[in-house]
Amino acid sequence: MIPAFINPAAGNAESARNALLSTGGHFDIREVAPSQLSARIRDAIREGATRVVIAGGDGSVGGAADALAGSNVELAILPCGTLNHLAKDLHLPLDPDAPPRRLARGRAVSIDGATIFQKRPSKRRSVG
């Protein structure tokens, strides 16, 4: 199963949880406060995860990307934040109620974090 981290404070956390549950057991859903996200992701890497899902906003996604830096673990994003800039830049579906099967089976692409965050530097300062 793929570890799926949900920020319980995200506005669409319940919708994200329901969407992940609707896929029939692809995900090990873990509700994690933003302050604990990096540590829990590192735990998942040590447990052998090859892909993790983040259900949260730009802050959660950024924290996850930092925790995954230097690893070969893929980051799948289920946008649940207020602005979701990165998800929009990547043209990801923004409806957290949509069945997220793509998170389990989707094709991974390599993205240079510096390139992504240079697109709108003034909008990349996020908390949450």
Looking at per-residue pLDDT, the higher value among 118 and 17 belongs to: 17
pLDDT digits (tens, 9 = 90+) for 9-24: 887 889 889 999 988 8
- Give the mean model confidence (pLDDT) for residues 114-124: 47
Looking at per-residue pLDDT, the higher value among 50 and 113 belongs to: 50
Residue given tokens 């549950």 in the structure block: 21
Give the whole-angstrom CA distance, residue 85 versus residue 80. Answer: 11
**Residue 98's pLDDT is what?**
66
Could you tell me the fold of the domain covering 2-123?
A: Rossmann fold (3.40.50)
In contact, 25 and 76? CB cutoff 8 Å? no
Residue 125 confidence (pLDDT) above 80: no
Residue 119 confidence (pLDDT) above 70: no
pLDDT digits (tens, 9 = 90+) for 71-98: 999 999 998 877 888 888 888 888 766 6
**Residue 66's pLDDT is what?**
87
Helices (H), the chain: 13-21, 37-46, 58-68, 85-89, 101-105, 113-118
Give me the residue spans of the domains in the chain.
2-123
pTM of the model: 0.82
Q: Which amino acid is at 30?
A: R
